Amino acid sequence: MAMQKSSSGSALGPGGLDLSQAFFRSIMNAAPSSPTKRHSKISVVGAGNVGMAIAQTILTQDLTDELVLVDEIPDKVRGEMLDLQHAAAFLPRTRIQASTEYSVTEGSDLCIVTAGARQMNGESRLNLLQRNVTLFKKIIPPLVGYSPHTILLIVSNPVDVLTYVAWKLSGFPSNRVIGSGTNLDSSRFRFLIADHLDVNAQDVQAYIVGEHGDSSVALWSSISVGGVPVLSFLENQQIAYEKEMLEKIHKQVVHSAYEVISLKGYTSWAIGYSVANLARTILRDQRRVHPVSVLAKGFYHIHGGDVFLSLPAQIGRGGVLGVTNVHLTQEETQKLRDSATTILHLQNQLHI
């Protein structure tokens, strides 16, 4: 059942008479709207904590003209739609729709998938993943059917494998299927480095790559603050540092999500800002570099199969525009290849 936005207030006259013509006086000899005007539309699949944090951030940052929510629970998704609509006086003008049916997503520029099965007590990671594959078979085909030119942005976990699944199910070229990957991990990494050095996190350039998970790789060799390579600077100034401290910071990044979940039950706000940040770069063609999950085969000596994992990639209106040639040490390259192997091992056990 589709749940559209409430009727226009201009139809408040007797018998539903449209009052807009009486309320506003027409401009003489007005030209029609420009045919080049761009109307943007974002659809978010999954109205849970993550999906709604993304939707709310997209609205407050004025990133789209139309926002669509899709969820399998009718009352839940209608309630979320109404709650957002009632904030219209405090937000940029955005048309908000909600439905349990995918037809409402037609013509979307960007489809963000956050829906996923919950892990049951004692359930293996592989069984959970297979249930998510089954769920994606119900989500991805109708999305691409109604929006054949859209970009798919996958947020559901495990994000790297599910981005691969979405790519396979969609039939899209790989540049139009992106996983949120380690974009948030890298933000956490930048925050921790900035906290240690007492600087602004926006002045820190640092990437976490590979799997969004335990086998992720911190690219210490390319970290810079204010344009100054950190490790090279310390070595040139003969300032000692302990590798164990670097590993401790990386472990904090990996376990930070678990800490948030243990404290409040779920993560939402940080991933909401992270995904809205990606949406801005894509829809406004900002061509920024983000560590996101992309088809990695052939990059950084990654071979052995089609695997999605996070690499620093330039993204824009066309999706993934290219992968950055960041210099990696031999150790970092090997860890990245090991991360790819970890994902492939899990991926090869799936039935798609």
What are 210's strand-pairing partners?
310
Q: State yes or no: 46 annotated in a binding site.
A: yes
- Phi then psi for residue 341, to 5 deg, are -65, -40
131-165: b or e for each residue (b if 16 or more CB lie within 10 Å)?
A: bbbebbeebbebbbebbeebbbbbbbbbbbbbbbb
45-80: b or e for each residue (b if 16 or more CB lie within 10 Å)?
A: bbbbbbbbbbbbbbbeeebbbbbbbbbeeeebbbeb
Neighbours of 183 (CB within 10 A): 24
Q: State yes or no: 348 annotated in a binding site.
A: no
Cα torsion 101, 104, 109, 115: sign:
negative
Q: State yes or no: 157 annotated in a binding site.
A: yes
Q: State yes or no: 236 annotated in a binding site.
A: no
Q: State yes or no: 13 annotated in a binding site.
A: no
* Residue 212: active-site member: yes
Q: Tell which phi-psi region holds residue 197, choosing left (phi > 0), alpha (psi between -120 and 50) or beta.
A: alpha
| DSSP H stretches of helix in 198-299 | 230-236, 243-264, 269-283
Q: State yes or no: 319 annotated in a binding site.
A: no
Lookup: tokens for 174: 């790989």
User: In angstroms, rounded to a whole number, what is the distance separating the alpha carbons of residues 256 and 253?
Assistant: 5
User: In angstroms, rounded to a whole number, what is the distance separating the alpha carbons of residues 45 and 259?
Assistant: 26
Q: State yes or no: 48 annotated in a binding site.
A: yes
Q: State yes or no: 127 annotated in a binding site.
A: no
Check 86, 196, 212, 250 and give the catalytic one: 212
* Apex 42 CA angle, 37 and 44, nearest 5: 170
Q: State yes or no: 71 annotated in a binding site.
A: yes
- How many residues can be counted in the chain? 352
- Reported as type and span, the H/E element at residue 76 is helix 74-85
Residue ranges at the known binding site for NAD(+) = 46-51, 71, 132, 155-157
Q: Residues with catalytic annotation?
A: 212
Residue ranges at the known binding site = 46-51, 71, 132, 155-157
